Amino acid sequence: MSKKAVRTDNAPAPAGAYSQGIVAGGFLFTHRGYSGPAALERARSFAPEVVFLDIGLPGMNGYEVARRLRAEPNGGALTLVALTGWGTDDDRKRAHDAGFDHHLTKPVDAAQVHALLADRSAARPV
């Protein structure tokens, strides 16, 4: 069975580099929607191991999506990655508190994403 990853971003443009890193990490990759509700729907239907979420999503921000995913029956097994333009220490703390395992600040390159996926067993270095 292929490893699966989902990416939800508030805009289609930033997908390039980190999408390449996801595929290079051996993951079957999908992107669905540009909103918090779409992220929840896709994570529930696709059953990924890794979820990349923008924080500034319309309809429901990434922090709330992360909290809701963590509350799902298999939510503790997910690797949640905040992938956002928000990169202050407070943003990282809020991401950690919401349940994210990692926090990456855009722009992100493919090698950075590939390394994160290769070492998913690492502690939560948000």
pLDDT, tens digit (0-9, with 9 covering 90-100), for 64-81: 999 999 999 999 999 999
Residue 126 lies in a domain: no
% of the chain beyond a pLDDT of 70: 80
Residue 125 lies in a domain: no
Helical spans, DSSP H, in 1-126: 15-24, 36-46, 62-71, 89-98, 110-118
Q: Rounded to the nearest 5°, which phi and psi values hold at 121?
A: -80, -5
Residue 123 lies in a domain: no
| Range of 16-25, 37-46, 55-64, 107-116 with top mean pLDDT | 55-64
Report pLDDT for 119. Answer: 80
Which amino acid is residue 60, in one-letter code? M
Q: How many domains does the chain have?
A: 1
Number of Cβ atoms within 10 Å of the Cβ of 120: 14
Q: Rounded to the nearest 5°, which phi and psi values hold at 93?
A: -65, -45
Range of the structural domain that residue 57 is part of: 3-118
The answer to whether the peptide bond before residue 14 is cis (omega within 30 degrees of 0) is: no
- Mean pLDDT computed over 35-53: 92
Residue whose structure tokens are 């490893």: 3
Residue 30 lies in a domain: yes
- CATH code of residue 39: 3.40.50.2300
Of the two residues 26 and 42, the one the predictor is more confident about is 42
User: Which tens digit of pLDDT belongs to each residue from 83-126?
Assistant: 999 999 999 999 999 999 999 998 887 788 888 888 864 444 44
What average pLDDT does the chain have?
84
CA distance 121 to 90: 24
pLDDT tops 70 at residue 20? no
Of the two residues 105 and 19, the one the predictor is more confident about is 105
Residue 73 lies in a domain: yes
Number of Cβ atoms within 10 Å of the Cβ of 122: 12
